Amino acid sequence: MKDIVKQEKGIILADSRDLEDVFGIAHRSIYRLISRYQEQLTIFGKVRFENAPTESGQTQSYVMLNENQALLLLTYTRSNEKTNEYRKKLIQQFSAMRDYIKLHDVARLLGIETRKTLTDIIQESGENERQHGHAYSNYTNLAYKLTGLEKGSRDSLNADDLDRLESVESIIRGLVKAGKQYSDIKDSLLPLFNGN
């Protein structure tokens, strides 16, 4: 079974187009079922009806369901041995995504604290003045380079990447606190991280 659940801004969703195996029925039947029980599903939030182009150039309607909506919809369909196994896996995917989001949130909060501490230390050290106001961006760029990550929103990074970035920033923070300047830090860390 492919991954069905995804998250958008911390909300776990299932796309009705991906539920055929879970329910054991075609998407058009799932769509009709959602439309029929829309009022009951809205107890758990807005039911998001959306459209997307198909490969043939036509438009397909589908629905993005939150976890509770998808689970309630499961109760409105018939079960058989095959669909029961898929249903169990769907519930496991929702659970795994919840755990992933919690882990990501914790890693993000720890990263914010590390980043704040690094920013404070850069300010206190005078590094920002020596670099004519570019110390924060220089150290940020260096941290991303050392981890091999693309610079961008930290919210888009997974928990492991956030952890790696935080570890590198902690090393940089310690070196800045010890009185090292940017060029020395860069020259000493790049070889250790193989120039990533």
pLDDT tens track for 107-161: 666 666 766 777 888 888 888 888 888 888 898 889 889 988 888 777 777 778 8
What average pLDDT does the structure give for the chain?
A: 84
* pLDDT band at residue 195 under the 50/70/90 scheme: very low
pLDDT the model gives residue 107: 66
Calculate mean pLDDT across residues 9-37.
87
* pLDDT band at residue 196 under the 50/70/90 scheme: very low
Backbone angles phi, psi at 4, to 5 degrees: -100, -40
Contact (Cβ atoms closer than 8 angstroms) between residue 41 and residue 73: yes
Calculate mean pLDDT across residues 10-31.
86
Q: What is the CB-side half-sphere exposure of residue 160 using CA atoms within 13 A?
A: 1
Using CA atoms, how far apart are residues 27 and 57, in angstroms rounded to an integer?
Answer: 18
25-29, 57-61, 66-70, 113-117: range with lowest mean pLDDT? 113-117
1, pLDDT greater than 60: no
